[in-house]
Structure 1
Amino acid sequence: MHMDLVAALDIGGTKIAGALVDDRGRILARAQQPTPAQEDGETVMGAVDAVLAELTVSELWPRTRAVGIGSAGPVDRSAGTVSPVNVPGWRDFPLVSRVREIAGGLPVELVGDGVAMTAAEHWQGAARGHDNALCMVVSTGVGGGLILGGQLHPGPTGNAGHIGHISVDLDGDPCPCGARGCVERIASGPNIARRALADGWRPGADGDASAAAVARAAHAGDPVAVASFERAAQALAAGIAATATLVEIDIAVIGGGVAKSGDVLFVPLRRALRDYATLSFVQRLTVAPASTGTDAGLVGAAAAALRSDSARGEVQRQAV
């Protein structure tokens, strides 16, 4: 039997990836282009066109019934537009209508990249089997998404669960979003490195001053590096606990480059979570690393399309 497929797009500041995905989450065809992030909007759209062109000439394309897009944000699911911070040529860019035109009128579902990662982790990763979950990407920024009542909850604009911009320090540093003391301003990779450098940590002979280098120093016992990760863990714990208290999640899944730091992040995070998640209904909250890997954006965009109202009846629903 020939199962229906969905097309998936994962749009970021570095690359635009595309795939044809079946209802088990298997990637059957791929395409990719670098993102011309500093070019004008039509040039960026040209890269999307090129990725879709590769997919539409595949012999599998006639089985495609919907398109899912996970994009760097902000996105506006209700308007079908995207305004990625790291792609200045796209501001309120009508991505959904442009993709729908190229895809021959197929239903198109747009979500933020954190929501896409959440869909992937709930479908095939560490949040599988959990009806109420927060999934997070901790990397250059901090994003996230929610599973509530067993369903992906993107919210009206596709940004629900964006934990990176919960304020956890009322007198903290100004955040580029316009607020102050946001989780992202403390726990993102660049801000972990910034704090370590400000407190006296110095990179090694290779000059690497990234969060990954701070993580290596923390693993080796450098107290300043350890303290920077502990501060990040505390901010994450405060944001996770606030979310759990609000909507009663029972697991927080953390992916992204910073999560690859391992115990220097997760040990203080779990310790801090005990200090913040104190009410009886959140005390059993667990934290786990993400497990869907580098294809999370594509698999999650496909999952979002499979679960969307517009695609129901168009595609098989085994993934729901």
Structure 2
Amino acid sequence: MQNDIVAALDIGGTKIAGALVDRQGRILVRAQRPTPAQEDGETVVRAVEAVVAELAASPHWGRARALGIGSAGPVDASKGTVSPVNVPGWRDFPLVERVAAASGGLPVELIGDGVAITAAEHWQGAAQGYDNALCMVVSTGVGGGLVLGGRLHPGPTGNAGHIGHISVALDGDPCPCGARGCVERIASGPNIARRALDGGWKPGADGDTSAAAVAAAARAGDPVARASFERAAQALAAGIAATATLVEIEIAVIGGGVAKAGDVLFAPLRRALRDYATLSFVQNLTVTPAMTGTDAGLVGAASAALGARDAAVAGVGG
């Protein structure tokens, strides 16, 4: 069993990445294709099958015992289906069934991309050694996942910990999800940029209106840019504090493009957290940047597959 490896897929709106990963989390083989996100569902799944076929051509493939998928969501692990917002051709698409067939019948474990990044951070990143953690991705959207009692907690459908759609502003702006005042509607990169522009922030000569450009302006002291990040930090703090109060997490790990703003985000976030995480059992909550980088989705999908494989083997043995 120590020699076993797992296959992993990280499926998003831009790329479909695949890897063979050993028990130490080392990536042995990689494969990648662009996601034909605007094509029909069959075209998209053919790109996934091409990645699996490339992995299967590796001499390491014979040691693969399971396959993990971290996919953009929503996902439904209980049904093995995915309906990613940014892949319109996939609605309740039977991804697990198709990938199992393409892999020659390997057991397949499906989780959402936020849960995958959580698995990676708990295995090899900033949440390592913590039994109760929230890990978040703050980027184009805001996603997340939970570790509870030392184990990944994906929930029945694979979406537990989706902090981006906790409402933190009861009368806030409508969110595309259908609710109001969601964390994502305030703290995602595009919404940070939108709020800064609405407030009168002017981009530089290059015309860059991204959240990264707003972060640079905030770092240089622009008050409108700084205020937009402070509002995002407040929304994140309220969501993190609510989660901590509910399930007693010890650490919140934040990754994604917006987290690269550094102290522009983390300083007001830690300040705001003092206003929201007030009960004795959440006051010592640690907030820290993620560590696992661009391979987090693959490493997390592999971790979930290894965990499911080990649990199945233990069940058979018991």
TM range (shorter): over 0.9
Show the counterpart of 1:284: 284
Show the counterpart of 1:92: 92
Q: Could you say if the C-alpha distance between residues 310 and 42 of structure 1 is closer, same or farther in structure 2, counting changes exceeding 3 Å?
A: farther
**Other structure's SS at 2:7 match:** strand
Q: Give the TM-score taking structure 2 as reference length.
A: 0.97
Show the counterpart of 2:24: 24
Q: Which runs of 5+ in 2 are unaligned?
A: none
Separation of aligned partners in 2, 1:22 and 1:113: 20
Aligned: 1:183 with 2:183: yes
Residue by residue over 1:3-36, the C-alpha shift from the partner in whole angstroms, topping out at 9 and shown as x without a partner, is: 1000000000000000000001000000000000
Show the counterpart of 2:132: 132
Separation of aligned partners in 1, 2:141 and 2:29: 29
Show the counterpart of 1:212: 212
**Other structure's SS at 2:221 match:** coil
Q: Give the TM-score taking structure 1 as reference length.
A: 0.97
Q: CA deviation at 1:311?
A: 6.0
Q: Given residue 63 of structure 2, which amino acid in structure 1 is its aligned partner?
A: R
99-108 or 65-74, which deviates more: 99-108
Is contact 1:10-1:113 (8 Å) kept? Answer: yes
**Other structure's SS at 2:200 match:** coil
Show the counterpart of 2:150: 150
Residue by residue over 1:56-112, the C-alpha shift from the partner in whole angstroms, topping out at 9 and shown as x without a partner, is: 010000000000000000000000000000000000000000001111111100000
Show the counterpart of 1:222: 222
Show the counterpart of 1:79: 79
- Stretches of 4+ moved more than 4 A in 1? none
Q: CA deviation at 1:2?
A: 7.0
Q: CA deviation at 1:309?
A: 5.8
Show the counterpart of 1:202: 202
Aligned: 1:160 with 2:160: yes
Q: Which runs of 5+ in 1 are unaligned?
A: 315-320
Show the counterpart of 2:68: 68
Separation of aligned partners in 2, 1:153 and 1:302: 15
Mapping of 1:27-66 within 5 angstroms?
Answer: 27-66=27-66
Is contact 1:305-1:311 (8 Å) kept? Answer: no
Residue by residue over 1:115-137, the C-alpha shift from the partner in whole angstroms, topping out at 9 and shown as x without a partner, is: 00000000000000000000000
Separation of aligned partners in 1, 2:99 and 2:44: 13
The alignment-based identity, stated in percent, is 83
Residue by residue over 1:298-319, the C-alpha shift from the partner in whole angstroms, topping out at 9 and shown as x without a partner, is: 00000011112686329xxxxx
Is contact 1:69-1:108 (8 Å) kept? Answer: yes
CA RMSD of aligned residues (A): 1.1
102-111 or 301-310, which deviates more: 301-310
**Other structure's SS at 1:308 match:** helix
Is contact 1:130-1:251 (8 Å) kept? Answer: yes
Aligned: 1:299 with 2:288: no
Separation of aligned partners in 1, 2:185 and 2:2: 48
Show the counterpart of 2:103: 103
